[in-house]
Structure 1
Amino acid sequence: MMKKILSILLKIVGAIVILITLFIATVFIVNIFSNKSEEAKIKPYGQLVAVDGKNMNVFIQGKGEETVVLLPGYGTPAPALDFKPLIEELSPFYKVVVIEPFGYGLSDVTEKERTTENMVSEIHEALQQLNIHRYTLMGHSISGIYGLDYVNKYPNEVSAFVGIDSSVPTQGGNDAPFPTKTYKLLKKSGFYRLLMKLAPDQLIAPEVDDETREQIRILSLKNTFNPNNLNEGENFAPNFKATEKLTFPKELPVIFFLQANDTETKNWIPLHEEQVKNSVHGKVMTFEGGHYLHHTRSKEMVENFRKFMNEIK
């Protein structure tokens, strides 16, 4: 009797193991084929600029005399599409330039470390190639760190800095080890694709037409957890540390647009007020909304940015 029960149990366990193996193999194979088919569906936008022997994608809209350069938050899969509402509000007044750093959007992946120094240098080289020498830098999230380094390196080029819920070197919470192996496994196994399929609401995108949303989804699956994305995550702690002692140049106009109720970072608003306390032209404004304020508050941000710049003139 016991032998019979044991035999049945072993068959059940064996069947479960086979089913799990088949499931994992199916997820893996579906991901490989989906990656191939989706690659052909990517619709190019913007233009490619040669930077450090690679191609960096840059999107330009608007013909204003003054230029606004937009820099994305960490891991934004398609910056030029993510910034769409903001570009629409800015482009009637400015020449708007969206930089897609290496590993983002339609840009190449680079072998260079994703240090603040390298990323800032590459962004600057892209602007040099485009013959853009005077501009406002407008950065979302992590670009608050890169932007702070940038304005100190190229003070004669940047006419103002605008932070969209931008990171602060002293905000803390960046010391935890980055789970590179887990993220690599999620991407390679195809389980990241499966998670996206099961919970499509987790796709971060502004209100755009279905075609644009589909492009963001495809580029999200392509770029999330790619080598540059992971390496940038691994460099969080040293990158924040590298800018800890930096301050915005006193004469540089700086305005921050922040979410009013950030529950993740302690003293979010005071941290930004501290950043502009010595600025001749420094301002902090808050809006109801999430971290991606440019998805929902672009109109108000552009109105206030223009007013801010006009008052300085």
Structure 2
Amino acid sequence: MTTPQLSPPPPTVTTADGTHPGGASQPAPPRTRVRRTGRRIARLAVVVAVLLAVSAGANAVLTVREGLTQPYGHLITLPGGGKVNASVSGNGEETFVIMPGFGSASPVLEFAPLVEDLDDHATVVVVEPFGYGWSDRQTSADRTVENMATELHQSLAALHVHQPYTLVAHSIGALYALDYVNRFPGEVRAVVTIDGSPPIDAVAAEAPQSRWLRLWTLSGVTRWVSMVEPTLFVRAPRDTYSEAALRQLRMLVLRNDSTPALVEESHRMRQNVQATKGLSFPAELPVLAFVAQETIDVSPEWLPAHQEQLDGLVRSKLIVMDGSHYLHYDHSPGIADAVRTFLDSPARTR
């Protein structure tokens, strides 16, 4: 019996595009798939790089154009060098000095609603620290509480601000106000804090900013995001500002994003908290504290820290308001009325 001879299988033939002549596709070798994936990633990287380059170029052109905008207020040259911007509203004998929270792109515009509610019968001064508003974006002076207070004092002296004045401090501005009243005690009539930061570890633990964050602004990403969703950067309700004011606010958000002065200030936060932990408001100084319910809800030590600051003062009051950290957006008329009532009342209100 003859054993049948089996013919060897025909060789596999593929075309140049990797398909079988019969039409059936054959799986590509692993190396081929890796090369294809690599080429796709490379093409995608080129597209992204081109888009970022175009975005950065357009952003640079718009930044130069916006830089020609006429600044509000006027610049003050400080004795230590550098210029800060200041705005003065109203002409009443009572004087309020606004101290902004950390990183406010434009203190003058941010507090405009509150200023309008205060300046009918008073003078309201807003001094923008280095890195804020139209002030110089950097300074050689360290961002310590001492320097922050001294620069404000020098600015008020240059403006010939009538003494005594009331400090109105928001957020981290309250920390600087605490140092200020101990450094220049005879010049301050009262202190008003708007969800002010007390010298507690929770404030010291806030993460410092990185200089690399400015790459988002330089690339144009921050600009396009702010145009699509402006409330991410301008936290006020949409009907708070005119379109012209919103455009200027967005421009200043881009101008002052992660400036050298702001980055350095953020890195000094822990040191500044430690420097003020041993300080207290002078016993005879009237202090009115507005505290946001939303902040109390997320920080259990927030309310007790404010209550402790007011203990032992001859005249003080604490008012808890519904709302976010930015109470001056939603409650500026109520804040202004409460401030006037508090200052006009000679009796202890606690």
Task: Specify the alignment match of 1:14 in structure 2.
Answer: 39
Q: Secondary structure at the match of 1:138?
A: strand
Partner of 1:289: 323
| Distance apart, 1:112 and its partner CA | 2.0
Partner in structure 2 of residue 76 of structure 1: 104
The answer on 1:46 being equivalent to 2:80 is no
Distance 2:49 2:274 in 1: 40
Q: How far did 1:19 drift?
A: 2.0
Q: Alignment partner for residue 129 of structure 1, among 147, 158, 162?
A: 158
- The residue aligned with 1:226 is 259
Unmatched 5+ stretches in structure 2: 1-25
1:312 match: secondary structure:
coil
3-state SS, counterpart of residue 172 of structure 1 = helix
Shift in alpha-carbon separation, 1:247–1:25, aligned structure 2, 3 A: farther
| Paired letter, 2:151 | E
| Higher alpha-carbon deviation: 176-185 or 154-163 | 176-185
Would the aligned equivalents of 1:180 and 1:234 in 2 still touch at CA under 8 Å? Answer: no
**1:1-313 mapped onto 2 (5 Å cutoff):** 6-41=31-66, 42-51=69-78, 52-109=80-137, 110-134=139-163, 135-175=165-205, 178-197=208-227, 199-206=229-236, 207-262=240-295, 263-312=297-346
Give the number of aligned pairs: 313
Aligned partners of 2:59 and 2:218 also within 8 Å: no
> Secondary structure at 1:239's aligned position in 2?
helix
In the superposition, relative to structure 1, how do residues 194 and 272 fare at CA in structure 2: closer, same or farther (>3 Å)? same
Q: TM-score, normalised by structure 1?
A: 0.92
Look up the equivalent residue of 1:162 and give its one-letter code. V
Higher relative contact order (CA 8 A, sep 6+): 1
TM-score for the superposition, normalised by structure 2: 0.83
Q: Following the alignment from structure 2 to structure 1, what is the Cα–Cα distance between the partners of residues 35 and 255?
A: 41
Contact 1:256–1:283 (Cα < 8 Å) also in 2:
yes
Residue 111 of structure 1: CA displacement?
Answer: 2.5
Q: Contact 2:170–2:194 (CA<8 Å) still a contact in 1?
A: yes
Shift of 1:221: 1.1
Structure 1: gaps spanning 5 or more residues: none
Secondary structure of the 2:45 match is helix
Moved more, 16-25 or 189-198: 189-198
Deviations 1:223-258 (A, max 9, x none): 021111111111110011110000001101100111
* Equivalent position SS for 1:70: strand
Opposite residue 344 of structure 2, the aligned amino acid is N
**SS of residue matched to 1:252:** coil
Read off the aligned partner of 1:277 and give its amino acid letter. Answer: D
Distance 1:32 1:91, change over 3 A: farther
Structure of greater Rg:
2
CA distance in 1, matches of 2:64, 2:219: 18
User: For the residues of structure 1 that align with 2:42 and 2:313, how far apart are their CA atoms?
Assistant: 64
* One-letter code aligned to 1:304: A
Contact 2:114 2:332 in 1 (8 A): yes
